[in-house]
Structure 1
Amino acid sequence: MNFLNEPFLKVKDYSVSGEEFGLLIDENLQLLKTYPQPELSELSKYYESEAYISHTDSKRSLFEITYHFIKQKALRNKIKLVERWNGGKGTLLDIGTGTGDFLAEAKRNHWKSVGIEPNENARTKAKLKGICLVESLTELEDNYFDVVTMWHVLEHVPDLENQIKELKRVVKPNGVIFIAVPNFKSYDANYYGKYWAAYDVPRHLWHFSKTAMEKLFAKQNLKLKKVLPLWFDSFYVSLLSEKYKSGKMNLFKAFWIGLQSNLKGRKNLEYSSHIYIFKNS
């Protein structure tokens, strides 16, 4: 990777620390890197917030209630998508399991599944749902899983290239890998700029484009087969971005920007977030 020294953009951590970080760009990969990246020993403190919704099951507000309602439909859709590409059920690894809802849905659908989740609080909640968890990828056998999933997790991983090597190692030949990440080339990213909530520095260490995803995974002979939009993400991200920009959640403005992002995405195929589907070859 070859990142320019001058920041592509300067972004603030709006949800926890209030600190400012730079985003450096690798122009060949069209990949952004958060700089400076916190030391591994320091990363956990940036997740210490009740507002970090992927680590909580709480439904204290209309926003959280709506989030979890839509999340349930999204979980069912993800299982259908995985089964369609796998040609049925099988062995599944979910990295960044959070509170375990995706694997709980997989278990209900008779998948043999395992999860990895570094956050202790989220891990405890996942275990209460009967989820099987391991500490790290190093515990897992080579070429064991039919499917590996990372739903909005790759952007959090410190050692990006080694992570992709490990995905290659644990998935079966002809196995399928599903990766969901935000897209900094989207309309809502361009509209909100430094206020775009999906930058989420420094928890998001990397910021991807379609070019970056295809090139990074091609290095491990993982072939990109399909890119799909995550329609809801533009509305969710726009709502948070409005809060960061104006200090309040402007529901109607956020809905309009989210809608615009999806409509423009239908033309230029640059949505707020994408699901990338890779085949091991």
Structure 2
Amino acid sequence: MQNHEKKYLSVKDYLVSGETFELVHDTDSDFLKTFPQPKIEELPKYYESQEYISHTDEKRGLISSLYQLVKKWSLQKKAKLILQQHGEVGSLLDVGAGTGDFLKVAKVKGWQVHGMEPNKNAAKLALEKGIDLKASLNDFEGKQFDVVTLWHVLEHIPDLEETILKLAALVKPQGTLIIAVPNFKSFDARYYGKFWAAYDVPRHLWHFSKESMKNLFAENFHLKKIEPMIFDSFYVSLLSEKYKTGRKFSLKAFWIGLLSNIKAKHSKEYSSQVYCFKKSI
């Protein structure tokens, strides 16, 4: 462990393996790192769960059904946000596009859509919707886009520094980069501690704060705006309560989710936040 790193929390993988991982705080950049990080070839096995709902369209169980219901509303909000931030419709690359629903909505609204998704099952579902996804960012080498989006994707990427450089190259001059990530400084994160579902180790390899997001992208981007994802606190609290107590449904989880949003009105530390960057050059 380096001098600028210190142990933060021990967290269990509740979804697949039951293994325990350490969260290490990089105090210089103010983000957490999952340790040990699985080798790249080992990562796919940690996604092998029917409950990993971003790679499926199924409505299996209450939490999954709620997720799919909120997703419809949030897709429209995302489409509205990218237009507000960029100012006009143009070319769009969605990194970690999942089953292609966001790109499908964006396409209807006039965007020239492109996407990347390494999970073959998710990409197959996207193709059935008319969205053809590439398997790697390397497939877009030499190309640039008006807007690049990552919706809860950055925390999954093993080679963080290399990916940030690739993202900078993919965004046109004066283009827009939009990234949504969980916020480990939110009230629900502090309340649930080691049970906080958005730690989601080891699928989440990194855990970000506002300060870390500013620092990581400062060389090539100017941070224009931070938007809250208000429904995430409810969904994450439901899962966190399940991990903590074993109960599949809890009214207390809704209260904690609501309380997190209320407190965030003052602290500006929402459960998940969307960072809207403009490319500097």
Q: Which category of TM-score, normalised to the shorter sequence, fits these structures?
A: over 0.9
Q: Secondary structure at the match of 1:231?
A: coil
Percent of aligned pairs with the same residue? 58
Per the alignment, residue 125 of structure 2 pairs with 125
Q: Secondary structure at the match of 1:8?
A: strand
Q: Deviations over 1:21-72 (max 9, x none)?
A: 0000111211100000000010000000000010110112232222111100
Q: Is the 8 A contact 2:5 2:26 kept in 1?
A: no
Report the alpha carbon displacement of residue 251 of structure 1 after superposing the two structures with TM: 2.4
Per the alignment, residue 68 of structure 1 pairs with 68
2:43 is aligned with 1:47:
no
Q: Is the 8 A contact 1:231 1:262 kept in 2?
A: yes
Q: Is the 8 A contact 1:3 1:24 kept in 2?
A: no
Per the alignment, residue 34 of structure 1 pairs with 34
Per the alignment, residue 150 of structure 2 pairs with 150
Q: Is the 8 A contact 1:85 1:176 kept in 2?
A: yes
2:17 is aligned with 1:17:
yes
Matches within 5 A, 1:84-103: 84-103=84-103
Per the alignment, residue 209 of structure 1 pairs with 209
Q: TM-score, normalised by structure 2?
A: 0.97
With 207-216 and 248-257 compared, the bigger mean Cα shift is at: 248-257
Matches within 5 A, 1:80-229: 80-142=80-142, 144-219=144-219, 221-229=220-228
Q: Is the 8 A contact 2:96 2:118 kept in 1?
A: yes
* Aligned counterparts of 2:73 and 2:5: Cα–Cα separation in 1: 42
Per the alignment, residue 275 of structure 2 pairs with 276
* Structure 1 outlier segments of 4+, above 6 Å: none
Report the alpha carbon displacement of residue 140 of structure 1 after superposing the two structures with TM: 1.6
Report the alpha carbon displacement of residue 132 of structure 1 after superposing the two structures with TM: 2.4
Report the alpha carbon displacement of residue 4 of structure 1 after superposing the two structures with TM: 5.0
> RMSD between aligned alpha carbons?
1.4
Q: Is the 8 A contact 1:4 1:24 kept in 2?
A: no
Which structure 1 residue ranges, 5 or more long, are not aligned?
A: none
Report the alpha carbon displacement of residue 87 of structure 1 after superposing the two structures with TM: 1.2
Q: Is the 8 A contact 1:33 1:206 kept in 2?
A: yes
Which structure 2 residue ranges, 5 or more long, are not aligned?
A: none
Q: Secondary structure at the match of 2:43?
A: helix
